Amino acid sequence: MYILRCRARDRGRSHPGGLFWPDVDQLLAPLIGHRSILTHSVLAPLLLLTVWRHRVTAPTVAWFSFGIATHLVADLLPRAWVGFALVQLPLGLGNLGSLSPLWIGGNALVALWLCEWLLRHEGLAITRLH
């Protein structure tokens, strides 16, 4: 069981943007397609950690990752794995087809792991075994 605690200075720094980030692809649908492989992955949190690491806090990236994971888990429940449910490659290069659920599920797990790892690294996650 994980217990998360938040220091006073970190409160309010988490952002629900991760929950909505994957659907940014709808604004760029002609270029990257809906359910783009670029937005339905952990690419954004990893870019935040590497490129903008001096401008964002680890807890912010952690909760952003948690939002992405939550969104991706919801995307694992389409009516059928056809059409818009499939993960699209950029520039109309096709889709992942039957690998789409594996891509989405795998990235959801990695996003959850990244969230937990970042919070533990910052001393904000404590594991207690019962």
Interval 85-108: pLDDT, tens: 999 999 889 999 999 999 999 999
Interval 4-13: pLDDT, tens: 444 444 444 5
| Cα angle 119, 111, 12; round to 5 | 45
Q: Which of 27, 35, 21, 28 is nearest to 64 (CA)?
A: 21
Q: What is the pTM of this model?
A: 0.81
Token output for 40: 């339905």
| Pairwise CA distance, residues 84 & 36, whole Å | 10
Residue 74: pLDDT above 90? yes
| Pairwise CA distance, residues 83 & 20, whole Å | 21
Across the range 82-87, mean pLDDT stands at 94
Across the range 53-81, mean pLDDT stands at 91
| Pairwise CA distance, residues 71 & 23, whole Å | 9
Residue whose pair of structure tokens reads 């594991």 in the numeric block: 127
Across the range 38-45, mean pLDDT stands at 93
